[in-house]
């Protein structure tokens, strides 16, 4: 894997919007958020654009990604937010440019689409962590989240043992030991990439999965899609993240969704690999920044 150089105070960080748009009045919050890390934010055009549910046209959002990697004055790249949009631009990315100009790349949620591409095609490490326009700007976020993010951004040393936030202990689905690269991200995006050249490779790797705002039976369906594609059979272990606002379907009187614990046990528990739940990363705070 290509490991981009760590950032240092005063570095220029490109802010891009490869997915959904943000409100114009929130741009100042983004700038203040990045400056609170003693970094210099450089907002690219997509940050102030909107086209339907997207932050500008596909061509512009892809251009911003390419330009951010190509520009030698840019030291790192932060995605402004998730939402939806990366599947529409991944065929427009210049992966040779990315591979030849590795940089810290940060985001989560819909940004999973770019994590998958950069990890597999470019063999470049990326960071799954909080974005500057999330619900908790860096200058307001909790100490756990901020310290985890800073360790990932400003040092290339191993991050060491994971210590969960207070009161959020890991849950054992299957016990055991394993080692390997961590890959993964948002479950919806992992499922959407199946059958494409960006499909996740889990063989010998530790697979991280998280989701937000989905009904339990839909999570069951997406996990089964991964299972039918042998993504659990070949991996070394599984880290189940957080499942914020995921709940049983209550739309029909005669429909009773299984709890997530049973879904995990049914689909994943049959594999003789270590599996942990409640790894605090994804659509929550406090959250841990994961190097993929």
Structurally, how many domains does the chain consist of? 2
* 92 and 148 together in one domain: yes
* 129 and 195 together in one domain: no
Residue 165 inside a domain? The answer is no
What is the SS3 string spanning 158-198?
A: CCCCCCCCCCCCCEEEECCCCCCCEEEEEHHHHHHCCCCCC
Task: Check if 109 is active-site.
Answer: yes
Of the candidates 46, 148, 210, 214, the residue annotated as catalytic is 210
Work out the average pLDDT over 261-289: 93
Supply the mean pLDDT for the chain. Answer: 93
Of the candidates 20, 33, 109, 148, the residue annotated as catalytic is 109
Domain assignment of residue 108, given as a range? 12-154
> CA-to-CA distance for 83 and 52, rounded, in angstroms?
12
Residues 192-239: tens digit of each pLDDT:
999 999 999 999 999 999 999 888 999 999 999 999 999 999 899 999
* 269 and 179 together in one domain: yes
Task: Check if 210 is active-site.
Answer: yes
Residue 261: give its domain's CATH number.
3.50.30.60
* 59 and 137 together in one domain: yes
119, 154, 189 - which closes a domain: 154
138: exposed, middle or buried (C-beta count within 10 Å: 0-12, 13-18, 19+)? buried
Residue 133: give its domain's CATH number.
3.40.50.10740
Residue 260 inside a domain? The answer is yes
* 23 and 146 together in one domain: yes
pTM exceeds 0.85: yes
Residue 290 inside a domain? The answer is no
* 146 and 197 together in one domain: no
98, 121, 154 - which closes a domain: 154
Residues 144-201: tens digit of each pLDDT:
999 999 999 999 888 888 999 999 999 999 999 999 999 999 999 999 999 999 999 9
Residue 224 inside a domain? The answer is yes
């Amino acid at each position: 894997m290509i490991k981009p150089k760590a950032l240092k105070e005063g570095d220029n960080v490109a802010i891009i919007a490869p997915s959904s748009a943000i409100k114009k009045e929130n741009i100042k919050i983004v700038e203040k958020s990045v400056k609170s890390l003693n970094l210099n934010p450089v907002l690219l055009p997509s940050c102030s654009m909107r086209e339907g549910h997207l932050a500008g046209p596909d061509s512009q959002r892809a251009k911003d990604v390419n330009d951010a990697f190509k520009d030698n004055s840019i030291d790192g790249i932060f995605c402004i937010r998730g939402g939806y949009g990366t599947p529409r631009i991944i065929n427009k990315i210049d992966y040779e440019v990315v591979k030849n100009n590795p940089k810290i790349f940060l985001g989560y949620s819909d940004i999973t689409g770019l994590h998958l591409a950069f990890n597999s095609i470019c063999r470049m490490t990326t960071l799954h962590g909080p974005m500057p326009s999330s619900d908790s700007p860096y200058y307001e976020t909790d100490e756990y989240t901020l310290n985890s993010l800073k360790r990932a951004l400003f040092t290339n040393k191993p991050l060491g043992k994971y210590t969960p936030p207070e009161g959020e202990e890991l849950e054992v689905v299957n016990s055991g030991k394993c080692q390997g690269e961590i890959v993964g991200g948002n479950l919806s995006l992992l499922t959407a990439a199946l059958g494409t050249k960006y499909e996740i490779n889990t063989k010998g790797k530790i697979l991280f999965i998280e989701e937000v705002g989905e009904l339990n039976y839909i999570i069951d369906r997406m996990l089964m899609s991964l299972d039918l594609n042998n993504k659990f059979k070949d991996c070394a272990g599984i880290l189940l993240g957080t499942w914020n606002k995921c709940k049983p379907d209550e739309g029909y009187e005669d429909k009773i969704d299984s709890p997530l614990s049973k879904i995990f046990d049914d689909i994943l528990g049959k594999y003789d690999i270590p599996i942990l739940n409640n790894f605090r990363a994804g659509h929550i705070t406090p959250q841990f920044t994961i190097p993929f």
